[in-house]
Chain A
Amino acid sequence: MKKFMNKYEGFFFILPWVLGFILFTFIPLISALYLGFTDSNSITTPKFIGFKNYINLFHDNEFISSLVVTVKYAIFAIPLGILSSMTLATLLNSKIKGVYLFRTILYLPAVASGVSISLLWRWILDKNLGLLNLILSKVGIDGPGWLSEPNWVLPSYVLIALWGAGGGMLTYLAGLQDVPRSLYESAEIDGAGWFKKFIKITVPMLSPVIFYNVIMGLVGSFRKFSDAYIIGGAGNQGRFYMIYLYENAFNYFKMGYATAMAWILFLIILALSLLTFKSSSLWVFYNSSDKGKGKKQGLLHRKQKKDGNTQ
């Protein structure tokens, strides 16, 4: 008995998670697999209907529309987000005065989140009373109804995503600290300008972080819920994938149908991740040497020296 206890002691530590995995992942996963093949609607007893949910989905215009909205958002928001986060990180990687203040301010939108901020954006994007059109009117532009005209809904969401670019910025800043300065110095000696340095050194060295952000961006687009729930948008242009899934499940109680949507969501995320992963050998560059460890700076604040000289 004692021997058994010793052998399995570690297992008792992971036991809560094992139970959680069985209760909240494994069993639900199996029942979701079945549920997707039923017409479960919480009124009649669920009947097995085979692939009918999946077939119906692809004839459902609202489903297609939610998919298109989500994909369009991802196509614009991810590359633009990466570009702006990376630009900010590169600029903030210099040793100018006040750099920590700038970093904190630019990171602020990533911290300020939740329904409060979604409500704020609904208010800012108001056609007549909003801040954005007020600013545009100062430079002589008659701003559109951002959320009330279908064509402007997608740009609105991309704009909101770009406001939060500071969150991504931090991941690139962390990555930049691993780039040896000597690379830039030798490039400067060779007469390379800032653009060349950015394309030839910064981008390749940061490619693992870009890779991470592409995956997170893809997953984030398909899981986008709470801000779209609050902000909405004319002509169903703010009805993202998860919104339509939620509506089916909890407004129309079409549980089987919504579960089929969840499985398609899973397959899409899996396929896109694998695709990004497979293609990564072509464009992601992993630096194998492990340098610069231990002399990392803080990201938003100066790290205090441990020898007490700072006092």
Chain B
Amino acid sequence: MMNKHLQLSRSRTILFRNIFLYVFLTIASITCILPLLWMISTSLKSGNIIFDIPPKWLPDGFHFENYVKAVVDISYFRYFLNTAIITGFRIFAEVFVSSLVAFGFAKFSFPGKNIWFFILLSTIMLPGEVMLIPIFQMFSTLGWVNTFLPLIVPAFFGGQAVFIFLLRQFFMSQPEELMEAATIDGATKLGIFYKIYLPISKPALITVGIFSFQGSWNDLMGPLIYLNDSEKFTLQLGLAMFNGVTKVQWGPLMAASILTLVPVLIVFFFAQKYFTEGISFSAIKG
């Protein structure tokens, strides 16, 4: 009798707790999504109703001409292509070179290794801003300003220290026998790296690739500093330049913003797992 009463009150607390949870989480979710819905709504509004006071929640029909305008006025395709070229090279270089370097740190012993590794770790904490101006002057002496080279070439020299660190941890966790067995079979170290370690490291490589993609796709400061010619702009820079004009046309601008955001969202939805694993890795082990 007593027991039954206790159980009843307990299940009632759980019920109340769950109702509270759902209400709270629903409000939080709406808060997260509403700005994005507003973005879509604005991108479909006609030029007139955007300046209505008070603003309208919903668009007056579907004004896809904003998207056409975005593509034409902001030269979306040109910027997309530029961004894709830079991002493509950077992902390839950062994934490949940082895994090569990580392999060297994980599976070999050579004189000076610990010192180099210590230097690698210290560069993680070093803000890149300190080197920003000397590197700019260096590229400018080379005549590389207003080309993609300053944005691409550094990636071929190891990419980011965090990527190397992350991949090193991954290689270290692989069994030592793998390396030994392949060495006995007479494979070269480079061959072992390429034929055995790269294929089994796919998840880690994808994680690094995604962070490289996100960093490169969203980079504003690099293109802002190095690219002057509007023909060479990336999407982020193109959008930023449109922000500067005196009378902002919010409809086309929001349409262009959506078109710029969509590739990132697509990558996220297809590679969620790798995204989250990378984040929990850096927070727990980092």
Contacts and interface: CB of A to CB of B under 8 A. Distances in A.
B220 A226 contact: yes
A17 B164 contact: yes
Contact of B120 (A11, A17, A102, A129): A17
Contacts of B129: 223, 242, 245, 262, 265-266
A284 B32 CA distance: 31
Given A10-B110, A120-B35, A129-B55, A21 B119 contact: yes
Contacts of B120: 17, 21
Contacts of A195: none
Given A13-B104, A91-B21, A116 B260 contact: yes
Interface centre among A94, A117, A128, A175, by most B CB within 10 Å? A117
B55 A131 contact: yes
Contact of A174 (B132, B164, B280): B280
A17 B101 contact: yes
A212 B280 contact: no
Nearest to A212: B283
Nearest to A109: B32
Interface string A1-36: 000000111111110111111011101110110010
Interface in A119-134: 119-124, 128-131, 134
Interface residues of A, number: 92
Contacts of A13: 100-101, 103-105, 108, 189, 193
Given A113-B214, A121-B35, 7 more contacts: A14-B116, A18-B116, A102-B29, A112-B36, A114-B260, A123-B38, A270-B125
Interface of B: 18, 21-22, 24-25, 28-29, 31-36, 38-39, 42, 50-51, 53-55, 57, 97-98, 100-101, 103-105, 107-113, 116, 119-120, 123, 125-127, 129-138, 154, 156-158, 164, 189, 193, 214, 217-218, 220-221, 224-225, 235-236, 239-240, 243, 250, 253-254, 257-258, 260-261, 264-265, 268, 272-273, 275-276, 279-280, 282-284, 286
Interface of A: 7-14, 16-21, 23-25, 27-29, 31-32, 35, 88, 91-92, 94, 96, 102, 104-106, 108-109, 111-117, 119-124, 128-131, 134, 137, 163, 166-167, 170-171, 173-175, 178, 208-209, 212-213, 219, 222-223, 225-226, 229-230, 242, 245-246, 249-250, 255, 258-259, 262-263, 265-266, 269-270, 273, 298-301
